[in-house]
Structure 1
């Protein structure tokens, strides 16, 4: 009986990288591994993505763990460093750093480093989150080019705020501004995230930065992975631990939020918000058991959920339940929980066992 297992198909990850390369054949790939590779397992995914050109992480600790695991490919710190003392670690581990504030730039230029570091200079083209102002780019580039702390020519980068909405006017505004900046920049550049890789080919530049699409999830609203030939990498599973008869008018779960409209039966499944299944999943959220779809009945508990299976079902204790994955797109679950697939994947907790598969063959188990 499998209780709260996340099966990670490494073959699907590799397939999705091929989809990236098909859409952006002339670009290098900076594969996003931040947040434990979107909940999939950083080291295992890095090893599977051996055809990527570099890896992106958000925190220095993530990069340190990858180096400790023997990953030698370039690793980019997407938020850069948070204090000057980290620069020596970055240099010694051969990491790349993003610079996105004037304070970071000044600290970097003033540092006495044991070796040069490749720099990605981030400019804010309209998302208003991270990045120096467009009018500061020329001065920043002049300071960086030829500096002993800088390895090669800095890479200019920016980030779309609304690429998941293909026709949002901000996309073209941002790209037009970035294009203007590139006229004065002789080095490499990077702009496209997953959504832009699929829908904004002019933005691909020298480097693309796929994230969610590597894990087999559509990055574009009102679409699913299958629309782009992507394969879901994670299938979240558990087992039925009880089957109960419920009479018409009886309620189920905390808060009595679901009432039986007729005599029926429920299957109780060992999964809950303690495992990362969303507590705010609504009544009617789909669950697949024995290739049939059933629907959530009552509020999600810490350790279990209930689904209505009806009086004619042959569901029994021990049967496998699929919460999202190959046969049940995570996009549907996110919609029922009023969230995004990113949050669901990153929210899978440590008590869920990860089982790494290559195609149909299990290659590794990791708690």
Structure 2
């Protein structure tokens, strides 16, 4: 059997959740489990996150899956409903909505009696500069005041565009958020994602919304998970299925883009872009065998890749860590010119998944 395997460490996930509690002791935690728990498998992860105050998802389908699995915590639809027809499911399953445009507000008000009777909060999104979703500063105060008049309990929320770096837009976003919060007081508030939980403890307010940090990847380009006292949750492995001895000048893989500069031992690993492992790299990439990093050579194929094991002990069946404990997913992502979030989320269903 092909041994491409994704291991999910539930204890590491619980550890990272407890790190959020340490960092934001006075806030409730909305654990983000959208996109199949960032590619980790939502069913596998929910039990480890059972102590969370609430879950955050992108759409109704993700919320319904959580309810089918038997979890009763509040769930926030972070993009809100996409049509008024979805409001029946919202009420039936006791889901909380973000509103970010006027039509959503109207749909909600038409169902205010049932929504408010269930004690559900409505999250009102401020577009403070990211320009994705939300009401601009000039209109959001009126929206919140109207919702309050209709009997809703509101949560003011926004999303940082640059919480992971020092950027002048951060100050603008914070200023706008605090201005609205003061104008609409009293009101619940939430603006901290993973990066902001670390960077802006003074802005943690009533709810924090950790995502990538729960899964043991870093929201910062200049800090790894060890710097943040987090533990990788996913370890992605495969096995060596062939060993080739090649001479100096011989090539490896499609396009013959790699040529050996000396006699080399090349191992073929049972993994490729068909499994979600990235194909193209802007800089040298590595995998780990034991505690040693070894280079990826040639182009990654759909089902296989080549690594240079000339200087390590390797044989048929040797396990190779593609990312996880020794080779961090964020380092693979950097070599690929992307971010760890993308690599985790785009894994295919082909690798076997195991809880450890």
Q: Which residue of 1 aligns with 2:315?
A: 316
Q: Which residue of 2 aligns with 1:145?
A: 148
Q: Which residue of 2 aligns with 1:243?
A: 243
Deviation at 1:292? 2.1
Q: Which residue of 1 aligns with 2:106?
A: 106
In the superposition, the TM-score normalised over structure 1's length comes to 0.93
> Which structure shows the higher helix fraction?
2
Query: For residues 63-95 of structure 1, what are the alpha-carbon distances to aligned partners after superposition, in whole Å with 9 as ceiling and x for unaligned?
Result: 001101101000000000000000011011000
Alpha-carbon separation, structure 2, partners of 1:300 and 1:113 = 56
Q: Which structure 2 residue ranges, 5 or more long, are not aligned?
A: none
317-326 or 1-10, larger mean C-alpha shift: 1-10
Q: Which residue of 1 aligns with 2:341?
A: 342
Alpha-carbon separation, structure 2, partners of 1:73 and 1:245 = 56
Write out aligned runs for 1:291-306 (5 A): 291-306=291-306
In the superposition, the TM-score normalised over structure 2's length comes to 0.96
Is residue 2–residue 270 contact of structure 2 (8 Å, CA) maintained in 1? no
Kindly indicate whether residue 134 of structure 2 is the aligned counterpart of residue 121 of structure 1: no
Deviation at 1:172? 1.5
Is residue 87–residue 113 contact of structure 1 (8 Å, CA) maintained in 2? no
Is residue 283–residue 296 contact of structure 1 (8 Å, CA) maintained in 2? no
Q: Which residue of 2 aligns with 1:169?
A: 168
Is residue 297–residue 308 contact of structure 1 (8 Å, CA) maintained in 2? yes
CA shift in 2, pair 1:225/1:313, >3 Å: closer
- How many residues of Structure 1 are paired with residues of Structure 2 in the alignment? 352
Kindly indicate whether residue 49 of structure 2 is the aligned counterpart of residue 49 of structure 1: yes
Q: Which residue of 1 aligns with 2:211?
A: 211
40-49 or 318-327, larger mean C-alpha shift: 40-49
Is residue 293–residue 327 contact of structure 2 (8 Å, CA) maintained in 1? no
Q: Which structure 1 residue ranges, 5 or more long, are not aligned?
A: 358-367
Write out aligned runs for 1:269-308 (5 A): 269-281=269-281, 284-308=284-308
Deviation at 1:112? 7.1
Deviation at 1:50? 1.5
Tell me the secondary structure at the aligned position of residue 180 of structure 1.
helix
